[in-house]
Structure 1
């Protein structure tokens, strides 16, 4: 097995059940044309893509019940190293309903199992052991019931003590609290960043300024995703506005996770911010062009990254 360079944490993983319908008829009988089961959750999606990219990665989190056993089976099927701490509750199942006629995906997500204090303590012990020889920690996704919003800050703090850089992709209080531990990089979408700062960001200049507020707290890289409008990547020295190539959006599931995976891949490759901006945009765009929970591949990103438009935004170095 390849040595793990990256540890991903998915505190609220899922079995993602994708149901493809010729057409979704609400209130009527629907018959499927395809059904697919995949391991789900932000950290798991990142692990799936990093594994496809040839990066050594371990996925961690909580799992429980028959669904948890199935989750471990799917990760093993996909060749992903996994170290999940058991819980008494069951791993949730999230439903993705694909309407092929409209090329739209409807998501129905369960809340997840309640985690006890003992289960939290057990995970912290397991997590700390997994940090040995890891370069990057990926934290992202929802937090299960029973776990405090400060959990990402706590995990990032432990990682820092072990010399591990954290990439944070969270929302709400989990993002706000997580920033207190000064992660190396964050990838909010525009709505998450607006909620964090409590104001509307109506222009590229305002988005860059908002990102620089996070840099002022000690973050090194901020990538703000904006769906079809593209993204903005900012560091203390540079800022880039990215316009993706045109696609037909089939599902946004995993698009942000693909950007996070590509960010870490680029960091491990020693790429600069301009390349990071282009590669992350290509990855997110390609994943959005696929149905359900399908993710892009390294070959696809390499083939299409040249189609991404990257423009420098003049900034004064911090």
Structure 2
């Protein structure tokens, strides 16, 4: 089983507009809505890939009820801690004429120490039954910056393989607990390293110096240019095919879902990276966030290349 942990779950709404004029009334003719937050996007894609998954984290209020009901309808089991206040709504506005995406993200509810303790107790039981535990997304109010470090240690102590996908100080603090895999995008990698990576060789050297012996697997997503990966001392270059992009929001989560599914299935590094890249690319073909069609993933698997980079 794979467990995903979403500390700041959301209702994700995407509006598709022919144009998005600022300062004017605009009627939405096409939209999608899903249970969201990065970890729930990961959970949904894992389910679509045919692997067992459990969703955990915090939810609150009527929005939280909607999130749980949506997951139930999708056949995704969940074990959330219920909190006061409302889970957030995240709005993505797609301007189709300009090919732009504008996101508006609410902060979400405030979490108490008692609720953090309850999550830690739930996590220990879930991690003991999981091959992989994925921690994804931003932190809600009330949780300490080092909460991911605490949660990673709990999951690792139960024998789970741990992914961490967050940014900023939450990522820096979480790295202290030695997650088994991190997946920064290019901007996040530059922030971590304190400088631009330059060419691929510069990137790999900087990542090797930064990760040291703490993190055995690091994947840097480069958007449409694919990804670079360090995997237990080996370097890999991942190249993806050009596709007619509809919506890139959630592609990083789909990438992580493919990685988690392949690793839980016992596959080697090249197969893990290939399925991850195929899933991430398949998400870009969809209007919905954190969503893939299995047939698209299957077709893309043969078009993704994973090469040794020395």
TM-score tier, shorter chain, comes to over 0.9
1:279 aligns with 2:240: no
1:256 to 227, 239, 252: 252
Give distance in 1, aligned partners of 2:265 and 2:81: 31
Q: Which residue of 1 aligns with 2:236?
A: 240
The counterpart of 2:145, out of the listed 136, 143, 149, is 149
Q: Give, in whole Å, the separation in 1 of the partners of 2:15 and 2:193.
A: 37
Looking at structure 2, the residues matched to 92 and 245 of structure 1 have their Cα atoms a distance apart, in angstroms, of: 35
> Cα RMSD over matched residues?
1.5
Contact 1:156–1:181 under 8 Å retained in 2? yes
Aligned to 1:54: 50
The C-alpha deviation readout for 1:265-308, integer Å capped at 9, x for no partner, is 11122222222222222221221232241522332111112112
Q: How does 1:40-119 map to 2 (within 5 A)?
A: 40-119=36-115
Q: Structure 1, residues 240-283: CA drift from partner, whole Å, max 9, x if none?
A: 11221112333221111011111111112222222222222222
Residues 216 and 145 of structure 1, relative CA distance in 2, 3 Å threshold = same
Report the secondary structure of 2:67's partner residue.
Answer: helix
Question: What secondary structure does 2:129 align onto?
Answer: coil
User: Does the 8 Å CA contact 1:214/1:222 hold for their aligned counterparts?
Assistant: no
CA contact (8 A) 1:238 1:273 kept: no
What are the within-5 Å matches in structure 2 for residues 178-193 of structure 1? 178-193=174-189
User: Structure 2: how far apart are the matches of 1:74 and 1:292?
Assistant: 14
> TM-score if structure 2 supplies the norm length?
0.95
- How far does the alpha carbon of each residue in 1:65-92 deviate from its partner, in whole angstroms, 9 at most, with x for none? 1111111111111111111101111100
In structure 2, the residue matched to 1:22 is: 18
Q: Partners of 2:164 and 2:203 in 1: how far apart? A: 18
SS of 2:91's partner is: strand
Structure 1 segments of 4 or more deviating over 6 A? Answer: none
Report the counterpart of residue 158 of structure 1 in structure 2. Answer: 154
* Counterpart Cα distance in 1 of 2:20 and 2:290: 20
Match of 2:130 in 1: 134
Aligned residues: 310
- Where in structure 1 are there 5+ consecutive unaligned residues? none
* SS class of match (1:26): coil
2:296 maps to which of 291, 300, 309: 300
d(CA) in 2 for partners of 1:214, 1:68:
38
**Cross-structure match for 1:270:** 266
Deviations 1:185-234 (A, max 9, x none): 11111211111121111111122123323542332211110111210121
Secondary structure of 1:285's match? helix
Superposed CA deviations along residues 153-199 of structure 1, whole A, max 9, x for unmatched, are: 10010011111110111111111111111111111112111111211
Q: In 2, Cα distance between the equivalents of 1:131 and 1:264?
A: 14
**TM-score (norm. length: structure 1):** 0.93
Question: Measured at CA, do residues 178 and 294 of structure 1 come closer, stay the same or move farther in structure 2, by a change above 3 Å?
Answer: closer
In structure 2, the CA distance between the partners of 1:241 and 1:41, relative to structure 1 (3 Å rule), is same
* 1:313 equivalent in structure 2: 309
